Amino acid sequence: MQELRPTIPPQLNSRQVLFRVIFRLVLLTALATLGSQGFWGTFAALLALSAVFCAVTGVMRREVIFSPALTHWDEAAVYAILLYVVRPLA
- Amino acid 10: pLDDT: 58
DSSP letters for 11-69: ---HHHHHHHHHHHHHHHHHHHTT-TT-HHHHHHHHHHHHHHHHHHHHHHTT--TT-SS
10-residue mean pLDDT profile of the chain (90 residues): values are: 64 83 95 89 95 95 88 94 90
Give the count of alpha carbons within 13 A of 41, CB side only: 5
Output the pLDDT for position 67: 84
Q: Which element (helix H / strand E) includes 74?
A: helix 72-86
Cα–Cα distance between 21 and 69 in angstroms, integer? Answer: 14
